[in-house]
Structure 1
Amino acid sequence: MDTEAQPSERDRSSAPAAGSEGRSRFAHVSRLIASVSWRRTAVTGAVCAVFVLLLSTFVVQPYLIPSGSMEPTLEVGDRVLVNKLAYRFGSAPGRGDVVVFDGTGSFVREPPRQNPVTGLLHGAAASLGLAEPAETDYVKRVVGVGGDRVVCCDRRGRIEVNGSSVTEEYLHPGDEPSRVRFDIVVPDGTLWVMGDHRSRSRDSRDHLGDPGGGMVPVDMVVGRVDWIGWPPGRTGSLPGSGAFTGVQAPTGGAHG
């Protein structure tokens, strides 16, 4: 009887060992799948991040509006999309365009010094519209292009461009076109820019006495603001303006 019982006891003792081996294999396979899944997710995330950064660098860049100088067209906290291809194929900024530009050399003599690592991280965040833009970046409206004579103001207080008075419907309610008087001719290859909220905008007028006279080189333009992407209640393309429709080209050539 004892000899018949012994094999049964050995069989029962071997069963848990087989189950333990199966669970071990399952755990190993699970860890392998999890590892592959994590790596795939990391690679996919890295590829997406690189794609977004390339898109932001060369095609369309989100831009966080940091101040009220362009109200009511653009409000503080708006996230706009800057079309970087707008002036890449022979086109040039035109009167009435809202542009983002690097003010180094025109509005700012030298860029502020900062920690390289901090600057790199901030630049990456700003390029995605997650942080305020660099201190040297500005958003303004083009009022005069190369060759234009821009004057403030006519008898009714309006800006004149090449002798034509401009009715600027986009100005902030209650603002005058300008309290600063000026009479300038825009050099070729540069722009005269102003904010829509004239009483709160530091623009070309504030740099009349500086080298360059407040003119922004066309080469320093990052792109044209074409869309508002955030907040949801303000999304859509930027409204166009017919304010400069009647302005004639300056003597000596045609300009946009």
Structure 2
Amino acid sequence: MRWPRGRPPRVLRPRLLAAALLPVLVLLLIRGWLVESLTVSSDSMEPTIPAGSVVLVYKPAAAADRIPAGAVVAFTSPVDGRKIIKRVVAGEGQTVAIRDSKLYVDDVAVPEPFVDHDRIDATYFGPEIVPAGSVFVLGDNRGVSIDSRDFGAVSLDAIQGTVVTDWK
């Protein structure tokens, strides 16, 4: 549409400005409260999520009182302060142990098709009881992962979201 004298009337300028800024505001709100992208910097979740992958972190899931075993979560590492991702393997009150590379929760072997057990042969840990209000997290690449075996269980309050997908 052509405007007289080459520009819109003064009354339409605020509407045009609002229409131009609205998508930007919506994207900022979505990134701030709904989803966030995160680049995985270590190989601790291989082969499930290789180093260099970009994942989406769904933030409202962090507000849940309980995050289920198997969920991959994002939180700030107590070791170096970087945002990292790990898999939840147990919740509060459960007992976690690793015997000859096999994960046991409450003395029951947990099937983990995403873990290459040959790479972590002869790994032992625990048993350890997960404290209230916390989850026990492990990397899928247990041989190189720094996780709850090193820094303890992660408070539910520290979880920033769950990983919903990965893409490149």
In structure 2, C-alpha distance between the alignment counterparts of 1:72 and 1:57, rounded to whole Å:
29
Per the alignment, residue 156 of structure 2 pairs with: 218
**Residue 206, structure 1, aligned to residue 130, structure 2:** no
* Structure 1 or 2: more helix by fraction: 1
TM-score after normalising by structure 2: 0.81
Indicate conservation of the 8 Å contact 1:171/1:177, yes or no: no
Per the alignment, residue 152 of structure 1 pairs with: 98
Q: Using the aligned pairs only, state the percent identity.
A: 30
Q: Which runs of 5+ in 2 are unaligned?
A: none
The higher relative CO (CA closer than 8 Å, separation ≥ 6) is in: 2
Counterparts in 2 of 1:1-256, with a 5 A limit?
Answer: 29-30=5-6, 32=7, 40=16, 44=20, 46-88=21-63, 90-103=64-77, 107-108=78-79, 111=81, 135=82, 137-153=83-99, 157-172=101-116, 174-176=118-120, 179-207=123-151, 214-228=152-166, 230-231=167-168
Q: Deviation per CA, 1:189-242, whole angstroms, max 9, x where unpaired? A: 0111010011121111122xxxxxx110001111111222x22xxxxxxxxxxx
Q: Which runs of 5+ in 1 are unaligned?
A: 1-27, 112-134, 208-213, 232-256
Indicate conservation of the 8 Å contact 1:171/1:196, yes or no: yes
- Residue 158 of structure 1 aligns with an amino acid whose one-letter code is K
Structure 1 stretches of 4+ moved >6 Å = none
SS in structure 2 at match of 1:86: helix
**Number of aligned residues:** 161
Tell which structure's C-alpha radius of gyration is larger. 1
TM-score after normalising by structure 1: 0.55
| Cα displacement (A) at 1:184 | 0.5
